[in-house]
Amino acid sequence: MNNEIKYNISISIPTSSLIQENSLIEKSLKVAWFARSASIFGIRNIFIYKDEKESVLRKDFTVLALLLEYLNVPQYLRKNVFPMREELQYAGILPPLKTPHHAKKIELKKISIGDIRVGMISRVSGKKIYLDLGLGKEVPLFVNHDQKSYNYKIGNLLNVKFISKFPNLQVKEMPEKDIEKYWGYHVTFISNFYSFITKIKNDTLILVTTKKGTVFKDKKREIATKLENFNNIVIFFGSPFRDLDELFPSVAWNQIPNIYFLNMFPCQNTETIRLEEAVFGSLSIFNEFLSELN
């Protein structure tokens, strides 16, 4: 999706997302589909909301959140960022994201000024800070005189930009908001759905996928008009067994501004659509819609 600069698109899935899978390998593969879908279509945030209708095992939620975060971190940093855990047993067989922030190792001599990478603080020596950038050599971080070196802790992840070439490599911190490429997603747990849905900003368009909703094509023109004034979009998905309004019947849905209940698959030929299929399919349809607006 090449709309990541114009639109900040987020998705929201439940803690019960893995409830239909019996084994850890099945759960891991399903999480990989979520991560791949988010990455393919340039999703900025993955919100995981608490499903209060299902007794979700804590282990299932841990697998969901931990693997999403694991897959988003570049491969060259994963062993240092994540200790060995049972939940990551099958992480090695999951498909890589291959997004722009998962840069490959290159020769030091081929690094150009302005190149951006994700790094981890590997060493702090006095006022000097060094990063592991997956290049086989620590690279020093340039710190402004008004920045405090003690704000940087070993293990912290940073986005950095090269400001000098080999053999005097040095990098400077690069805020994610200043990076024009898609730079991965952020995972956030929502413990109180009612508070979350009612506090979403007025500049956010809310799309709820449901088989009971209005067929998407019948709302495309109206949504296109709305998007002339919106940059933030959140797409909500229900649980494997219930739609969002069934999960949270106490929410005053008709009082929430800028919300649409949409049927993305009006001609489906299966009794149900699995959650991972709904996420990938809906984002694919919405991506095509956004591409037509540009």
Which has the closest alpha carbon to 135: 81, 82, 183, 76?
A: 76
Please report the pLDDT score of residue 73 as a whole number: 98
Residue 143 token pair: 């710190």
Q: What count of residues does the chain have? A: 294
Q: What is the predicted pLDDT for the residue at 203?
A: 84
Supply the pLDDT for residue 126: 79
Please give the structure tokens belonging to residue 156. Answer: 């912290």
User: Which CA distances in Å does 127 have to 141, 158, 164, 168?
Assistant: 10, 17, 19, 18
pLDDT in tens, the chain (294 residues): 444 458 999 999 999 999 999 999 999 999 999 999 999 999 999 999 999 888 777 889 999 999 999 999 999 999 999 999 999 999 999 999 999 999 999 999 999 999 999 999 999 987 889 999 999 999 999 987 666 666 789 999 999 999 999 999 999 999 999 999 999 999 999 999 999 998 887 889 999 999 999 999 999 999 999 999 888 999 999 999 999 999 999 999 998 989 999 999 998 888 889 999 999 999 999 999 999 987
What is the rounded (10 degree) CA torsion for 100, 103, 107, 108? Answer: 90
What pLDDT is recorded for position 5?
Answer: 55
Q: Does domain 8-99+182-293 bear CATH number 3.40.50.150?
A: no
As a whole number of angstroms, the distance between CA 160 and CA 218 comes to: 44
Beta sheet of 186-190, edge-to-edge order: 186-190, 45-49, 8-14, 232-236, 204-215, 259-263
108-178 placed in CATH 2.40.50.140:
yes
Query: Which token pair is 170?
Result: 């040095």
The predicted structure's pLDDT at residue 3: 40
Question: ω into residue 167 within 30 of 0, thus cis?
Answer: yes
Q: Residue ranges per domain, the chain? A: 8-99+182-293, 108-178
What is the spatial distance between Cα 184 and Cα 176, in angstroms, rounded to a whole number? 10
**Does this chain's domain 8-99+182-293 share its CATH topology with 108-178?**
no
Q: Answer yes or no: are the C-beta atoms of 170 and 128 closer than 8 Å.
A: no
pLDDT for residue 93: 96
